Structures are given as C-alpha cells and as structure tokens.
Amino acid sequence: EAQVTQNPRYLITVTGKKLTVTCSQNMNHEYMSWYRQDPGLGLRQIYYSMNVEVTDKGDVPEGYKVSRKEKRNFPLILESPSPNQTSLYFCASSLLGSHEQYFGPGTRLTVT
C-alpha cells in the first residue's frame, strides 16, 4: 500500500531535550516536506527536500533541522525543543512536478 508513515504519532517532551520525528514514504517520491499545523494558521511549511541531499527552508524553519540521506526518509530534528514548537506535524511527499502531495498521519508534539 502506498503511504507516508510518521513516528511517533504522539510525543510529550520537555524543553531542551533533543528529539527526532521520522518520516518514510514507499512511493519513490523525490519531493518531501514537513508542515506544522496550528489552530487558525493552517499548515505552514517548515522544510522541504527535492531529492537526496537536497534540502531547503520553508516558511517557518527556525528551531528545526532535516536531513535526506535516503530517498524514502526525511526525518525532522528538534535540537532543543521549546514550548512554541508544540504543534501537529505532517510529513508529505510527491513526485517532483506533480504538485499533488500525499500526507502522513501526523505527529502531535507537546513541549512542556
């Protein structure tokens, strides 16, 4: 089954404790992206990647890092999480140029 998976689905952590949210897709998509969803703000892009070893900032990259060492994986790294990063995070992927993005199930992160 074609899908985008994310882990963990729920995470509660404390300020400053490094964490990684994994994202994996099995559709051989070149493009992958991370979004955060906040009430009243919709989805905002954090980082994106157009292929292996090619990543770039989205609209709200501060406090986040990503890597793309393999085509299928695109982890999101919070080196020192803060409470304002409490949010719902979605990973998405698509073929380059396709524009139709497939979304993962979301990761609800709470930073206390």
Partner 1 sequence: AQSVSQHNHHVILSEAASLELGCNYSYGGTVNLFWYVQYPGQHLQLLLKYFSGDPLVKGIKGFEAEFIKSKFSFNLRKPSVQWSDTAEYFCAVNAGYGGATNKLIFGTGTLLAVQP
User: Which residues of this chain interact with partner 1, rule CB under 8 A?
Assistant: 31, 33, 35, 40-45, 48, 50, 58, 90, 92, 94, 96-101, 103-106
CA 84, distance to chain mean position in Å, is 16
To partner 1, the closest distance from the beta carbon of 80 in angstroms equals 27
Which residue number, 19 or 50, has a Cβ lying nearer to partner 1? 50
Buried b (16+ CB within 10 A) or exposed e, 45-78: bbbbbeeeeebeebebbeebebbbeeebebbbeb
**Locate tokens 């300020």: which residue?**
15
Which residue number, 42 or 112, has a Cβ lying nearer to partner 1? 42
The helices-and-strands tally (H runs, E runs) of the chain is: 0, 11
To partner 1, the closest distance from the beta carbon of 16 in angstroms equals 29
* DSSP string computed for 33-51: EEEEEETTTEEEEEEEEEE
To partner 1, the closest distance from the beta carbon of 77 in angstroms equals 21
To partner 1, the closest distance from the beta carbon of 3 in angstroms equals 10
